[in-house]
Every structure is written in C-alpha cells, then in structure tokens.
C-alpha cells in the first residue's frame, strides 16, 4: 500500500499543471469524438433513405474516428511519456503515415461535399449525381489520401532523442537538407488547406450568388388572371439547409487548421528566427484535433427531426427483427403450420410505440421529400 502511494506521488510530482491539463483536455476530446461520431455512424446506418450528403457525412465520421484512434491517441501517448517513443520503428512510420491519411481524407471529402452542393444548387440540370458516382468519388478521396501520404513512410523513423542518449523519439530524420523539409511541408499545406480553401470559397461564392439571384420576386400578369400573380423563384429549402450544414462544417475545418498551418509555415521558412512557444504549439494542435469532435454536433444541430434519433435507431432494429420473424412464420404457414401471421404483424400496427414512431417518421419524411438532398 505504501509503495502504491509513493508511486502515485512520484507520478503526480512529475506531471506539471500544464501537462496534466493538456492530458485531461485531450482525453475529453477523445471521448467526445468517439461518442459523437459513433452516434452519427449508427444514426445514418439505420436510415432507410440515405441522401448524397449523408454518404459524405458518414465518411467524415469514419475519418474523424480514424483521427481519434490514431492521431489523438498517439498524441496522448507522447504527452504521458514526455515525447519518448517506445513502440519501435515500424509503429513510428505507420502512425505518422495514417495520421496524414486521415487528415487528407477528411479534407478531400470536404472538398467533394462542397462540389456536390455546388452542383445541386448551381447546375441542377448538368448531371444527375447517382449514388454510384458519389461512392466512386468518396473512394477516390480515400485512395488519393493513401497515395499522397506515402512519403511519411520514408521521412519519419525512430531515432535517439537529442536530450537523452538512452531514449528514442519518432522524428522526421529522412531529410538530407533543410530545404526538403520546407518544400514537403509547403506541399502538405497546399493540398490540405490552401487549394481546398480556394476551391471551396469559389464554389460557395457561386452558391450564394445563385441563391440570392433565384430569390428575386418576379411579377407576371396572366391573361386569364387579374390582379397580377407573383412568383418567387428560389431553391428548395432543403437544399439551402444542406448548403448551410456543409458550409458550417467547412468553416469549422478552416478555423481549426489555419492558425497551426500558418504559424508552422512561418517557423519553417524563418530559418529559426521565429519559434512557436511550446504552450502555443500545444494549444494549436489541440484546436486542430477538436475539429473532429465538432462535426457530429454540427450535423445534429442542423438535423430537424422532432423525434428522438435513438428511438428511431431502436425502431429500425426492431423492424428488421420483426420482418425476419414474418418471413420464418410465413414459410411455416405455407407448409401447413397452424401459426397465424396476424400475431406477428401486430408489432407493425400504430399501437406499437417504437414502430409507430418509425412509421410516422417515414410518412413525415415523404411529405417533406427528406430533410437533406
């Protein structure tokens, strides 16, 4: 008992207030990211009618979960062990590789989602975006992410720490000259932040102009009608709502990642004249990571379902189970069994609470032509 108490006191003394606070905050972010994104995955997986936007958000949730499992946990591990790497060279390379894969994938999916909203609003008759095309686009985003992150496997490796010859670190030792580091990070910032922001800004400017132009009120006098009839030409409210949802996700991404990228570029290109303070670097990295926990709550904030989504998930699971029972007992009855199907169809009546919510939800969804396009 005394040894355990002594060890706890030693660990407590080794952890400064700043370190303890960063570990606590990062742990909270990890919990929120896991809970929020798992909820989104379950919610969209049990939807009977998925839209194009749902596919993008579902893959964003998978990407955010990957960021949590790889990037956040590795950062937490390094915080606890004072930046010492004890997992070996292969784990070092794979961890840094997957980190870039997850970051790039969420960026590319955000760009693809913005372009999809641009086509839906500005070019509705140009092309009919089928689900097959959306699946291919998302698959291309993931493949591009895996390819573009390959240099990480050659740049990072386990090496001896500069402060202690007995400790190891996972560091970028694959450069033969400093200019290579600058070029590589500039390219990284280009495809992760700069080019995506330029493209998404252009598309959203076009979207805003189209919405404003189509919202003008035109007055026409029909031959058979007097007084004149007024027409309001505007996109459907569901399309405008999906644009607002996608725009909010993009703004959160840009706000969280821009400070870290800009200051790191300045630090690399200043030849050591400018150094980011350690506390500031920790804050900026935390802001980058917290973006992955924002997306689920942004989606839920725009979700206008009046009923509890958890109830709908349970209703969907119950409906699937009851349909399986109907198939089984229907076959028994065809073979001469005495089991009546009436008792097995009762759970689908309006008297059943969960399924009535599901039925009401489907009918209301049909009347609204779905929440999101």
Give residue 244's pLDDT: 81
Can you say how many angstroms the Cα of residue 30 is from the centroid of all Cα atoms in its chain?
14
pLDDT of residue 219: 40
Instruction: State residue 304's pLDDT score.
Output: 55
Model confidence pLDDT, tens digit, residues 268-302: 888 777 887 877 887 888 888 888 888 888 888 87
Bridge partners of residue 156, in order along the sequence: 172
Mean pLDDT of the chain: 74
- The better pLDDT of the pair 125, 225 is held by 125
106-125 pLDDT, tens digit each = 999 999 988 988 888 887 76
Rg of the chain's alpha carbons, rounded to an integer? 27
Q: What is the pLDDT of residue 148?
A: 93
- Of 44-53, 146-155, 247-256, the one with minimum mean pLDDT is 44-53
In this structure, the dihedral spanned by the alpha carbons of residues 217, 222, 227 and 230, taken in order and rounded to 10 degrees, is: -20
CB 225 within 8 A of CB 250: no
What is the location of CATH 1.20.1070.10 in the chain?
A: 19-215+231-303
Residue 227's pLDDT band (boundaries 50, 70, 90)?
A: low
Four-point Cα dihedral 31, 35, 37, 42, nearest 10: 160
Of the candidates 192, 310, 179, 317, the residue with the CA atom closest to the CA atom of residue 257: 192
Looking at per-residue confidence, does 303 or 73 come out higher? 73
Q: Is the pLDDT of residue 225 over 90?
A: no
- Nearest CA to 165 out of 91, 84, 96 is that of 84
Res. 310 pLDDT band, cuts 50 70 90: very low
pLDDT at 44: 87
Q: Higher pLDDT residue, 338 or 164? A: 164
Under 8 Å between Cβ of 191 and 204: no
Averaged pLDDT for residues 324-341: 41
What is the pTM assigned to this prediction? 0.71
Q: In this structure, are residues 259 and 287 in contact, taking their beta carbons and an 8 Å threshold?
A: yes
Q: Which of 68-82, 165-179, 288-302, 339-353 has the weakest average pLDDT?
A: 339-353
pLDDT for res 161: 79
62: confidence class by pLDDT, cuts 50, 70, 90: very high
Let me know if domain 19-215+231-303 sits in CATH 1.10.1200.10.
Answer: no
Angle at 354 between CA 353 and CA 359, to 5 degrees: 95
Q: Which two tokens stand for residue 367?
A: 């009347």
Residue 149 near residue 97, CB atoms below 8 Å: yes
* Reduced 3-state DSSP string for 58-110: HHHHHHHHHHHHHHHHHHHHHHHCCCCCCCCHHHHHHHHHHHHHHHHHHHHHH
The answer to whether 48 and 17 have CB atoms below 8 angstroms apart is no
Distance CA 110, CA 124 (A): 20
């Amino acid at each position: 008992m005394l040894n355990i108490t002594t060890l706890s006191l030693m660990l407590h003394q080794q952890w400064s207030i700043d370190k303890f606070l960063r570990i606590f905050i990062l742990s909270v972010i990890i919990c929120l990211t896991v809970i929020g994104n798992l909820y989104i995955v379950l919610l969209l997986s049990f939807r009977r009618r998925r839209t194009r936007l749902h596919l993008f958000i579902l893959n964003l949730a998978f990407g955010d979960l990957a960021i949590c499992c790889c990037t956040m946990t590795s950062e937490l591990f390094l915080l606890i062990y004072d930046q010492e790497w004890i997992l070996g060279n292969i784990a070092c390379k794979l961890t840094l590789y997957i980190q870039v894969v997850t970051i790039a994938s969420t960026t590319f999916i955000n760009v693809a989602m913005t372009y999809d909203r641009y086509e839906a609003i500005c070019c509705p008759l140009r092309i009919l975006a089928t689900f097959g095309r959306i699946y291919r686009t998302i698959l291309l985003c993931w493949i591009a992410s895996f390819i573009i992150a390959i240099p990480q496997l050659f740049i990072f490796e386990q090496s001896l720490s500069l402060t202690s010859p007995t400790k190891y670190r996972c560091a970028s030792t694959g450069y033969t000259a400093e200019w290579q580091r600058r070029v590589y990070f500039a390219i990284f910032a280009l495809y992760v932040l700069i080019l995506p922001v330029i493209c998404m800004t252009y598309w959203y400017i076009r979207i805003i102009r189209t919405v404003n132009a189509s919202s003008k009120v035109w007055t026409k006098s029909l031959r058979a009608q007097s007084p004149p009839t007024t027409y309001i030409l505007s996109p459907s409210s569901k399309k405008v709502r999906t644009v607002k949802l996608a725009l909010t996700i993009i703004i959160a991404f840009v706000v969280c990642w821009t400070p870290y990228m800009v200051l790191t570029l300045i630090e690399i290109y200043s030849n050591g004249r400018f150094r980011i303070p350690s506390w500031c670097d920790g804050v900026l990295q935390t802001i980058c990571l917290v973006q992955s926990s924002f997306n689920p709550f942004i989606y839920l904030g725009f979700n206008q379902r009046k009923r509890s989504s958890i109830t709908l998930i349970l209703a969907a699971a119950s409906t699937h189970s009851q349909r399986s029972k109907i198939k089984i007992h229907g076959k028994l009855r065809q073979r001469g069994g005495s089991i009546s199907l009436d008792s097995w169809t009762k759970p689908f009546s309006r008297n059943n609470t969960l399924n009535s919510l599901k039925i009401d939800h489907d009918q209301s969804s049909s009347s609204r032509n779905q929440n999101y396009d």
